[in-house]
Amino acid sequence: MSYRVTFVCTGNICRSPMAESVFRHHAEEEGLDVEVDSSGTGGWHAGDGADSRTVAALRRAGYRSAHVARQFEPEWFDRYDLILALDEGHLAELRGMAPDGEAAAKVRLLREFDPSAGADLDVPDPYYGGRGDFDQVLGMVEAAMPGLLDEVRAALEARDARTP
């Protein structure tokens, strides 16, 4: 069974689809058995594609993007092994909708996986900014990837060790 990861931001058109694309790219390069997607805490962009500035930042960096926004649903906690919030507000909202402690423990901040992140683990929302803001967010997402990939590899190895 694949390890399932989802990224969650506010409207699911900027940060979380960016993180989804970057993680998918690296996981595919490594041949990891993962399923990856993303969603938002709000549903006002459901059905929309990723913000054009997100898509442009991804393309400039060599990533591809195909995305349709959706809202995270509380019943999805059972579906995922790891739920990655893009900022403290998303973290609190997701943990607040978790049905129990085990589900809440699946929710973590993406920048927890970046050892150089320091104390501020929020990925800022670039929506009201320009190209530089989207590029900055992409840099933060990319900086978290080595640690996130280590975490997922370890989880897959532990799962394989338990499987007869």
**Active-site amino acid positions:** 9, 15, 125
Structure tokens at 9: 């931001």
For the chain, how far is it from start to end, CA to CA, in angstroms? Answer: 13
Nearest to 140 by CA among 50, 29, 22: 22
What is 50-63 written as a DSSP string?
--HHHHHHHHHTT-
